[in-house]
Structure 1
């Protein structure tokens, strides 16, 4: 599919403020002024949204108390850095100036490795003898490797996982999209004082600073979509139509 450049373009997800959680894949409202269900990672070049519960479980898989606390804090407006900014194996950040420390990023979920940490069974070539499909491609992304991690079954006829992962809002029936059952309700969101108390008690390792909820929680910067829609650019958050 080729989209000719004719002025400003933004997708139905951005237009209707509904985005997929990059962890579970379900649609959620990203409207910061009307009870959001999914929240955008604070990193400026990151386009991923998450349900608070989904990102909390990934960041704190072995500590239910911290995960619960972090979930409530994110729902209350806490800015966070999502899992795609740390290597899954060594937990270190990316260094684009060191090739071995450049990232290999999964196209379908928040799984990321350094080049040097990439598991052997996520291979740049197909191994017919071992019946191991190609799961990694170099040269597609600038200074990174594109991968499909082992969570995603490779379809032999496609060479990729099934291409059914992108979900757009049903504008004719806004209530038709499947909602995340664990999305926080308004009565679950703590007020500002309670949010600060919970942050102090759980002391997440990220040590992020609480931010105000609503449109003022972040500083708007230039984006391919109008500034009044979203506070940060999020290229690629809706995926490629042909991958």
Structure 2
């Protein structure tokens, strides 16, 4: 069944911690084009939403899944990745088996609530399944973590205010009982903004400059009813679309010869 993503439930979801909010953004926008509208949600492990048919994706120039009306009537929907248990690594973009019962597991899923990103162990040198959470890079500020590593290498850790990781900063805010005095978790500037194309996250106060466009820069961030949509500078923006290049989704190992658009969206840049 097609499910329209709108304003309902947004405020309640945004009041919870950011890990829930990141899941809500995934629920609200299409995984292919990063726009909202009439979407279908995968009932599998990925939990992503998609424009299911060509008409539902016309406004956002989305390649869509190209489903038929008969497929929309099925009681359960699984995207090709979840049906085949072949998911993409959020670092390299290549597929790997997530079937834990099918021998050696070559791709693992972050177990942080609301995240659902997949990774090759060699791309992310952490065994996420053996950790309680907070291990995926999406759950720490990339800028703070980088500064912390630099100051540690220079043996100045602890000498400069503000060089701690985001987890330490959140702990300080909670210890000072400042939670609840502003929107979200801690202060507004400490909210994490998550890149849609790679495992980088930034506190709002740590976001790169000029991401709002202007002076030859293309805008990289939008506030939507479902949350913040953001692309870091590692990804090329498409000027006539409100997104980075749409070449990030891969359902199959290789695109068969003569395949139609709805069989693969690897070439989904228009």
TM-score by length of 2: 0.50
3-state SS in 2 of match to 1:89: helix
Q: Which residue of 1 aligns with 2:143?
A: 89
Pair 1:141 & 2:226 matched: yes
For residues 112 and 31 of structure 1, do their structure 2 counterparts lie closer, same or farther at Cα, with a shift above 3 Å needed? same
Pair 1:37 & 2:91 matched: no
Aligned length: 154
- Specify which of 92, 98, 110 is matched with residue 24 of structure 1: 92
Q: Which residue of 2 aligns with 1:120?
A: 209
3-state SS in 2 of match to 1:53: coil
- Specify which of 212, 223, 243 is matched with residue 160 of structure 1: 243
Q: Which residue of 2 aligns with 1:131?
A: 216
For residues 30 and 132 of structure 1, do their structure 2 counterparts lie closer, same or farther at Cα, with a shift above 3 Å needed? same
Q: Which residue of 1 aligns with 2:79?
A: 11
Q: CA RMSD in A?
A: 3.0
5+ residue gaps in structure 2? 1-50, 54-71, 145-164, 171-178, 257-267
What pairs up with 1:50-65 in 2 under 5 angstroms?
50-56=119-125
5+ residue gaps in structure 1? 57-69, 174-240
3-state SS in 2 of match to 1:54: coil
Render the CA deviation track for 1:5-59: whole Å, top value 9, x for unaligned. Answer: 7532221111111100001100000111221111011212111010111112xxx
3-state SS in 1 of match to 2:229: strand
Paired with 2:233 and 2:52, the residues of 1 have a C-alpha distance of 30
3-state SS in 2 of match to 1:107: coil
Shift in Å, 1:170: 5.4
3-state SS in 1 of match to 2:205: helix
Given that 2:95 and 2:253 are in contact with CA atoms closer than 8 Å, whether structure 1 keeps it comes out as: no
For residues 89 and 14 of structure 1, do their structure 2 counterparts lie closer, same or farther at Cα, with a shift above 3 Å needed? same
Q: Which residue of 1 aligns with 2:34?
A: none
Paired with 2:207 and 2:255, the residues of 1 have a C-alpha distance of 43
Paired with 2:230 and 2:254, the residues of 1 have a C-alpha distance of 32
**Structure with greater contact order relative to length (CA < 8 Å, sep ≥ 6):** 1
Shift in Å, 1:172: 10
TM-score by length of 1: 0.55
Q: Which residue of 1 aligns with 2:38?
A: none
Q: Which residue of 2 aligns with 1:78?
A: 130
Shift in Å, 1:171: 9.8
Given that 1:16 and 1:169 are in contact with CA atoms closer than 8 Å, whether structure 2 keeps it comes out as: no
Render the CA deviation track for 1:131-189: whole Å, top value 9, x for unaligned. Answer: 000001113433xx22111000112232422211100035998xxxxxxxxxxxxxxxx
